[in-house]
Structures are given as C-alpha cells and as structure tokens.
Structure 1
Amino acid sequence: MSFIFLGNALWLDFVNTQIIDGELVDLIGGGDAFLQWARAADIPADERATHGFDRALTETRLFREQLRAAANDLAAGTALNPAFIADINRRMADHPVATVLENSGSGWATRARPVTEGPERVLADIASDFARFVATEGTNVRKCSNERCCIMFYDTSKNHTRRWCSMEACGNRAKAAGRRARVAQ
C-alpha cells in the first residue's frame, strides 16, 4: 500500500491517510493498514499486536477527524478546541516516553523510548508530534489549493507561499489547466 508523506509533520501525514481520489479513500481502512502506515512513518509498532490495531480503528478514525479539524483551525488562524487539547494531553500522559542513556558506538547518547506499545502508543506519538508542532511552529498549515485535493501540509517554503501538496501532482495539473485555458482563448 502506498501512503502519502507530504505534510512535513507526522500528525499531518496521519491526517492525510484519508484522501480524495475521485472519491473518498481511507488509506488505513483496516488494522493491518494502520500497522503498515505506522511502520512507514517510522513509528515502532509490534507486528504481533495486529488484533489491537483492528480494535482501535474507530478511535483512530475519530482522532484523525479531530486532527483534521485542528489543522483547519490552524490554517484559518482560529483557536483550538480546549476539549481536543485535553485529549492530546491525556494521550501523552497515558503513554509516557522514558529517556534512556545508550552507548551509540561513538559515545553516549540519550534516546526517547516509549513505555507502552500498540495502537494507542502510535496515537500518542501522533499526539506528541501535534503538541510539539503547536508549541514550536503552530502556523503555516495549509490545504492544497486544488479543489479536488484534501491534503494538508506544513508550509516550510522560504516565503511561506506553497500552494500545492506537491508540484508533481496538483501543481503540474493546475499549471497544465491554466496553459490549456490560455491557449483556448
């Protein structure tokens, strides 16, 4: 399965697991797909917990909807829902991360290690990424300018003028449509 990683933030890439391709497509339609997405996003997920990922699908989809609403709020410059922020804090508190000291081969280094596992841990990692994002960036969240696209992204361009989820997809289509319109005149 092919996932879209154009958001420039883990939580936005998670939001982008529901896309429009002529019709609404859920890229994490089952627990197995959710587990595959977690692995593709470099989130440690235990393969043996597949049944847990199946059970967590309803919660996963609801959380994704809440994150999409938050992305839209950030893009519009409106306040985030306090109940949603409480949910983000609860997810992080229920699934803490421990800092461990490890020998990295070239010296000592600290690394964050999840204390819990399973789908709730994956959702907590996404919640942590959202919290970090809001605390450090918090602006320049955009929706692709293509009316038929629902991809959300963090605009990291120098002047913060990025319009498309990617130039290869929506950007080139828009340029070609504009060119066709000019030639037709």
Structure 2
Amino acid sequence: MPFIFLGNALWLDFVNTQIIDGELVDLIGGSGAFLQWARAADLQTDAGDTVAFDATLTEAQAFRAHLRGAANSLKAGTALDPAFVEDINRRMADHPVATVLENSGDGWATRAKPVTIGPQRILAEIAHDFARFVSTEATNVRQCSNERCCIVFYDTSKNHTRRWCSMETCGNRAKAAGRRARVH
C-alpha cells in the first residue's frame, strides 16, 4: 500500500502512516517500511539502514500514537499532554538541527537540516516539525469527514473549510453516495 502525503506537515504525514482500509493498517509495520517511508518523505537516511530502522520501529509507532493524540488535542483546542511536550523537547535536544537557506526552484526557503544520522534523527526531525507547527500554525488541524478514514491534515484552504483528506478519494465517494441517495 503506498504512503499517503496529504497532511500538509511532516508530523501529520507521519501520523497518517496508520490508516483504515476496512481495518486499521500500519503502513510502517513491515520490515524496512519505516525506512521506506522516511525516504518517500524526502528525509535524509543512510543507505542500508534497514536494521537500525526496524530496531526503532516500536518506538516510532509509540511516538506516532502520541502525535495522533496531539492532533486530537489541537483539533479539540485542548492542552497538550505535558509528558508529550517533554518528549518532544528531549528529542529536539538529543538531535539538534541546523537551519540552512536553499533555493527550492520556487524561491528561497529555510530548511531544518539534521546534524545527526539514523532513525532517531528521523523521529527528532518529526519532533522539530511538530514544535514549529504548534508554535506557528496550531489551528486548523482536521480529520477527514469520512467516518471510515482516519487521515488528519492541516487545512490550508482559503476559508479553512476543507473536509476531506482528498477530493479524489473520500470527497468523491461522499459526492457519489449523495448523488445515489438523491436518485433513489
């Protein structure tokens, strides 16, 4: 199953590595899958790091669960768990990043560049993204309106009224179901 990058933020894309496809599916649960996701997310990884990434999988899955809880808190407008905030701060302190200026083709932008390597650094990069997000854009975190979908995203639409993870999937299904209901 392909990875889903609809969250509009790295940390939300990581949360979205657990989806519902009839049942709960863990997209990073198999051997090498966490490393594959990191590469698909354009995160710098070391060649041949599958063993190290697999060894970190349980921690990555637990961190993802805490991030989903944080997304739920942001959606509800409630406080973040202090223990979770301590974990974010620890990850950032243990694996600092340097800010670099890059020309992305669309113009100049700053990017956090990790100064350490390995799967722990990937989790730290996700923690840095979460910290940046909550300090600047903590509102407009949404979950897809399809009750059989658990994708969360940052709503960047003009009026902040986005309902679906993707119009091509859940949005289209809802429109088709509405048409069928009106016809019958």
Q: Is the pair's TM-score, using the shorter chain for normalization, greater than 0.5?
A: yes
Greater radius of gyration (CA): 1
**Residue 169 (structure 1) aligned with residue 169 (structure 2):** yes
1:33 alignment counterpart: 33
2:12 alignment counterpart: 12
- Identity percentage over the alignment? 80
- Equivalent-residue separation in structure 1 for 2:153 and 2:110 (angstroms): 30
Look up the SS of the partner of 1:19 in the other structure.
Answer: strand
Residue 30 of structure 1 deviates from its aligned partner by: 2.8
When normalised by structure 2's length, the TM-score is 0.92
**Residue 129 (structure 1) aligned with residue 143 (structure 2):** no
Q: Which runs of 5+ in 2 are unaligned?
A: 103-108
2:45 alignment counterpart: 45
Are residues 182 and 89 of structure 1, via their aligned partners in 2, closer, same or farther at CA, if it must alter by over 3 Å? same
Deviations 1:91-110 (A, max 9, x none): 000001235799xxxxxx98
Residue 31 of structure 1 deviates from its aligned partner by: 4.4
**Residue 76 (structure 1) aligned with residue 76 (structure 2):** yes
Deviations 1:59-86 (A, max 9, x none): 0000000000000110111111111011
When normalised by structure 1's length, the TM-score is 0.91
Contact 1:95/1:116, CA 8 A, preserved across alignment: yes
Deviations 1:122-164 (A, max 9, x none): 0000000000000010000000000000000000000000000
1:156 alignment counterpart: 156
Look up the SS of the partner of 1:142 in the other structure.
Answer: strand
- Equivalent-residue separation in structure 2 for 1:4 and 1:163 (angstroms): 17
Contact 1:30/1:57, CA 8 A, preserved across alignment: no
- Equivalent-residue separation in structure 2 for 1:164 and 1:75 (angstroms): 15
- Equivalent-residue separation in structure 2 for 1:100 and 1:67 (angstroms): 26
Counterparts in 2 of 1:49-64, with a 5 A limit?
49-64=49-64
Contact 1:31/1:56, CA 8 A, preserved across alignment: no
Are residues 80 and 176 of structure 1, via their aligned partners in 2, closer, same or farther at CA, if it must alter by over 3 Å? same
Residue 23 of structure 1 deviates from its aligned partner by: 1.0
Once superposed, what is the RMSD of the aligned Cα atoms? 1.8
Counterparts in 2 of 1:95-114, with a 5 A limit?
95-99=95-99, 112-114=112-114
Equivalent residue pairs, number: 178
Residue 49 of structure 1 deviates from its aligned partner by: 2.0
**Residue 118 (structure 1) aligned with residue 118 (structure 2):** yes
Runs of at least 4 residues of structure 1 off by over 3 A? Answer: 98-102, 109-113
